[in-house]
Chains A and B, each alone.
Chain A
Amino acid sequence: MEDLEIIELYWKRDESAIDETAAKYGERLLRMGKNMVTPEDAEECVNDTYLAAWNQIPPTRPSCLFAWLAKVCRNAICHRISWMQAKKRNAVTMPLEEELAECLPSSTTEEEVDARELGRFLSVFLEGLPREKRLFFMRRYWFGDSIADIAGRFGVGESKVKVTLHRTREQLKRELEKEGYAQ
């Protein structure tokens, strides 16, 4: 079923919208979740996503349903990771945050970061990267793919993926410093 038709089902408050969403995108969302949290938690996050879709559409009318769902799901995953870490449970199966920590300016501000503003900055940064660098970064830090998965997806060696990600993290760190995220 086309995305527009699924969204229309949500607007009509037709519960089959959730079934159609799950049929079309459930597997992809679940896979993304499993990249970052345990399968059990991933399943919960995906279910939370369906619930959010039901509650937020309408009034929301996503221009791209998958991107919208993926964002909601990823947000749920991030919250789940925070919760698990607060509970000192080792739920995170990928060391994504540790890797991302390399991007942090050496002397960072302790002021609260506006996530939306940072998101806009990251969009500009990513759009300015060569396509392959951007895709590697997105697959790793947005979708949580393993290095091996990325290598397999793009048909390149794992070392190549590691080198490219390393360079991108270094570049992001410099850009964050320039942007004033350092004190």
Chain B
Amino acid sequence: MPSDPRVAQALAALAQPIAEFRAAVQGALAQADAFLAAQTADAVTQAASAAKSLGVFGSHLDAAKFAAMFPSVAKADKASQAALTKAAKILRSVATQGDDMALAKVSDGRKLGATIDAALAGAGQAFGAIIITELVRGGRYKAAEHERLLDPSEFRAWNNAERRFAPPLVVEVAGADLHAGALLDFADGREKIVLVVTGDAPPAALVRCITPGTFVLQTVDGTGLDRLVGYEGPAIAAFLPEGAATFMHDPTAGKEPWQRLTVPFLPTTPFKAVGGFSAWQMEQDVKMLADLARTPFAVPAVPGAKGAPAIGAGDAVDRIASWLLGTSGIAGNG
């Protein structure tokens, strides 16, 4: 059980996609088990199975004859049975992991990208096992062609369908290891990655992940995780310590970066170097975030309002209206 409460918070937010992936694995496992059991079932067991499927009214049929004429599964050769047995073992191991299936931790000496790759490779193996299950059940398994499907499969080898059905991942990482560039390899399909960052961390590292189709979130309290889960594309989030920039890049919010980006909090210099991240680099990240969020027109301060509005806050139409009022010189007169 992870000690950091933010991990539990992230897992709770990702409960739905985790459950969906687990259901797919469990469904395939049930089918694999049933198929394997049927391979060795005697006539009595097969008749009982047929009787069940025909229901109570089916007592008017001879279940043994029915089972003989319509076997519940086709006979599989030894190679197919062996492959399916192995696939079932992989599926069972994933199914019994619980939430650990969606957890990873960047250990000392390992990189963020490699950690995620390794964690998702297990899921990739499960996808292979699901495919093997279907191939064997459909009588289409060919060892020479399909055996490799049961090897661990890294994200980059996944097909589009698998990427859309990718399991989410919560990764614990030290701030010094928060190399955002490594995350971009996984920004595809519907992959959801939430980083739980410990210790000092660069304040706006995830700004480097912002691309038009990727949901990117930096949060210090979990705000925005629900939006991340609802997004139908790839999403990357980081749970950062207090003092880091908080922002949300929601691709559904508009065409322009400033429409998609909301920045409730932007830290100010000076920054202190963390690991391999220099203070200058951090300053550039923050500046980039501010630039992306900046509207192409000035947002005037409303007289009497407490503080300046957050960058990117508010509806774009409001901001344009505010700008027009500001340029016309009538703002605040009413």
Q: Do A and B come together as binding partners?
A: no
Give residues in B with beta carbon < 8 Å to A: none
Give residues in A with beta carbon < 8 Å to B: none
